[in-house]
Each structure stands twice: as structure tokens, then as C-alpha cells.
Copies of this chain bind each other. A is one copy, B any other.
Amino acid sequence: MGIVLYELAAADPAVRFSPHCWKVRIALAHKGLKTEGLPWRFTEKQVIGFSGQDSVPVLIDDGETVCDSWRIALHLETRYPNAPALFGGTGAVPLAQFANAWADSALVPAVSRIILLDIYDCLDPVDREYFRASREKRFGQSLEAVVADRPSNLSAFRKALTPLRQILRERDFLSGTGPAYADYCVFGMFMWARCCSTASLLDEDDPVFLWRERLLDAFKGLARSAPRASAKGTP
């Protein structure tokens, strides 16, 4: 029956921009698993109702439904033990989970403050009202106000990357000499921004920039070739 992944999609259904779906998509590539990615919109709650969840990623692996990017990663590691490992041994699993929790708690808000309006602009009209209402409630501000001070928000994001940058001064990847799931958890944040925004997040002399380049090139350029939303108001 193969593997099916429900992925958050923009107005252009080829544009898949969720950071958490990207974690899974790269993990599947790491494992060498062919996957059918199905576009899903924020307001299509009923489409994934079978999963008991109201958000993606939702994976169906040979008839078994698995939700939540972290649980999907553990599922893939257990189910495909002979494919390349997503974690460098059991001792690395809790620490990869910590890196994931760090990305979600420190980077999701920081990236949001840069790209939130770009996300809105790339959404299908059916999702826009839901997105604006839920995010404006979360931030306690209009989308426009959240992203208004781009220089400060960009500076705060780059500062939030400090611990990652420190590791990447010494190593090619967060996980060591090769990329693994902890890298994908963080890289998902950059793919989120890349797929819906033209904002330049990193200076070229930042070790994080070079790491991102390596991951854009990984798996035959899977991430680099992923469709991006066309910028509003630009050709």
C-alpha cells in the first residue's frame, strides 16, 4: 500500500510549506522511502478526521496511521531499521527530541515574526480567514503588526540561532559529520520560510547559511527544488 503523507499546502497545491511536514519529508528521504504527498489545507479538518488529529503531518504507512512529526520519526526508525538511521543510537534520541523542542519553542515564534504575512498571502482563499483569526489571537496583534519591525525581528531570529551556530562552527551538521533527524527538525524551519517567503534570513558568512546550503543540496536537491510561492507584487 506504500506511504502517504498529508502535507499542508498553499493556494498552489504544489507548495508545501509546513515546517513539521518538512521534518517528515526529509526524514522519509533519509530513509530512502518513496512517499505520495497529498496536499491538505488548514480548514480541511474532516479530510484527516480519521486520524483523530486536526493538523498535519499525518502519515499512512501500509495502512497504519501515525500523527505528529516526532512520533512519525520514531515510527520510521523502528519500522525501517535497515535503512539509514535517523538517530545516532538510542542515546541520541532524547537529545534529538530536545533539539526539536528547541526549534519549536525558540525558532517557530522567531520565524513567524518575519514570515507570518507572507504565509497569509500564499494561502488558498479558503484558509485565510481561519489563519488570520487563529494567528492574531495567538500573537495578540494583527498579522501586519507582528511582522512590522522586520530589522528587529530578523535580529532576534539570528540571535536565537546562537547555540546552533556554535555547533556549526565546529561541525558540518548538528548531528555530527552527517545530517540526521535533529538537523531536519531545525532545517524544517528554514524550508517553511523558503516556501512561502522571499525574506533573506541569513548572512552568507553565517555557519548556519552554509549548513542550510548543504541540506538544500542533500537527497539530490530535494529541498532546493521544492516549489515556492511566487512573491506578492513581484514578477
Contacts and interface: CB of A to CB of B under 8 A. Distances in A.
Interface of A: 87-99, 101-102, 104-106, 162-164, 166-167, 170-171, 173-176, 180, 182
Given A92-B92, A105-B162, A97 B167 contact: yes
Contacts of A94: 167, 171, 173-176
A171 B101 CA distance: 13
Given A87-B91, A91-B176, 12 more contacts: A89-B89, A89-B91, A91-B180, A93-B176, A94-B173, A95-B175, A98-B99, A98-B182, A101-B164, A101-B166, A102-B163, A105-B163
A175 B91 contact: yes
Contacts of A173: 94
Q: Is the interface of A mostly helix, strand, loop or mixed?
A: helix
A176 B90 contact: yes
> How many of these chains are in the complex?
2
A109 to B, nearest CB: 10
A163 B106 CA distance: 8
Contacts of A105: 162-163, 166
Nearest to A182: B95
Nearest 8 pairs of A and B residues by beta carbon: A88-B91, A95-B95, A101-B163, A89-B89, A91-B92, A105-B162, A101-B166, A102-B163
Nearest to A164: B98
A87 B91 CA distance: 7
Given A98-B95, A105-B162, A90 B88 contact: yes
Contacts of A167: 94, 97-98, 101
